[in-house]
Amino acid sequence: MPRAQVSNGCGLIRRALLFGLFLLVPTATFAQTKSPSPTPSPKQEDQEIDPDDVISVNTTEILLPVTVRDRNGSLVGNLTRKDFRIFEDDVEQTLSDFSLRNVPVDVALIVDASSSVAGNLDDFRNAAEGFASHLAKDDRISLIQFDDRVVMLQDWTGSLLQLRRALRRIVPGKFTRFHDAMLLAAREQAPRKNARHAIIVLTDGIDSNQGITFAAAMKAALQAQTTIYVVSNANIERSKKQEELANLLADTGATVRFNQLRIEDLRLGLQALDDSERRLEQLTTATGGRLYKPNSFNDLERTYAEVAEELRHQYTLYYSPLNAKRDGQFRRLHVQSINPGQNVTARIGYYAPKK
């Protein structure tokens, strides 16, 4: 079975993101879980995030999860503090003595239950259970579905049984409130203190434009300092649309004219998938995550297992910023490995605390 296509961004994308970001930046047993409840639709004023709602670093030590891969894309282990260099606004920082601590992770699983995924929800359920089985006993997981609404199905838990019950409560919908789901996961599903925060979402990324904008969703993710992994079903949808389009265009001239509306609809759908994939690339690159593009829903279990493997091999770097100003401004980050041929993935920055 072919491996899912994977993308984790590049220098050009990072530079474009930084430019766009400056335009956005303002000057197992755990606790009992909550019952699932619908999330209210965002109000119109939520289109832009209020500066007072900024989730920023409130301590003098920065926690930064990073992933290191070699030229072949394989995860690199056994690195030490001396293998890393970290720069904040182009000024090199000094890593602390506790740079490679074993840090638990809180993972929000999000599923697009709209029409593009509804027929394959069992594949997601199996993949989600498999993913949860790879987590350590100190890790936690939550479950959110989105379609016409955004619904919290399971709050933070370490219980596979509770997750399994929540997975059975997923019901298909029609529309796609992807941006609202990202906002909920970033702002409301905050991790524990000193825990990593990750979001893993299954979606094609196409939003029905009924709530907040993509820019506001990405800004919220950066403010929450979460790492986002997207398992995109865009390739699956693209193949279906391309096949139908090719069949329609292969007919006689009269038939093509008769089906012109459907042909144009398919072309618009393909363009929407392309645009969505570019936005998902921006989102995952900015937050230090990864974009996975499986070619079949049968690949979901393996794809989610790959995400779990990355989280297990993630380094957590700590440092105290040399810039101690509490001005609420965005700080650009860049992490390097001193070893040639190694690629380091990390989020592009954080927000400093306010006075």
- Kindly report, residue by residue over 138-183, the tens digit of the pLDDT: 999 999 999 989 999 999 999 999 999 999 999 998 888 999 999 9
pLDDT value at residue 61: 86
Percent of the chain at pLDDT > 90 equals 63
| 63 and 193 Cβ atoms separated by less than 8 Å | no
Handedness of CA 256, 262, 268, 269 (dihedral sign): negative
Mean pLDDT across the stretch 61-77? 93
Q: Contact, 282 vs 21, CB < 8 A?
A: no
Residues 224-277: tens digit of each pLDDT: 999 999 999 999 999 999 999 999 999 888 888 899 999 999 999 999 999 999
Give yes or no for residue 212 having a pLDDT over 80: yes
Tokens of 181: 């789901």
Instruction: Show the tokens assigned to 203.
Output: 């979606």
Q: Which helix (H) or strand (E) holds 87?
A: strand 84-88
Q: Using the predicted structure, report yes or no on whether residue 59 has a pLDDT greater than 70.
A: no
Stated pTM of the model: 0.82
pLDDT digits (tens, 9 = 90+) for 99-134: 666 799 999 999 999 887 888 899 999 999 999 999
Tell me what pLDDT residue 354 has: 81
- Going by pLDDT thresholds of 50, 70 and 90, the confidence category of residue 14 is low
Which pLDDT score, from 0 to 100, does residue 252 have?
Answer: 83
Residue closest to 180 by CA, chosen among 26, 46, 21: 46
Sorted by where each starts, the structural domains of the chain and their CATH numbers stand as 5-351 (3.40.50.410)
Kindly state the helix (H) or strand (E) to which residue 21 belongs, with its residue range. helix 11-24
Place of tokens 């832009």: 48
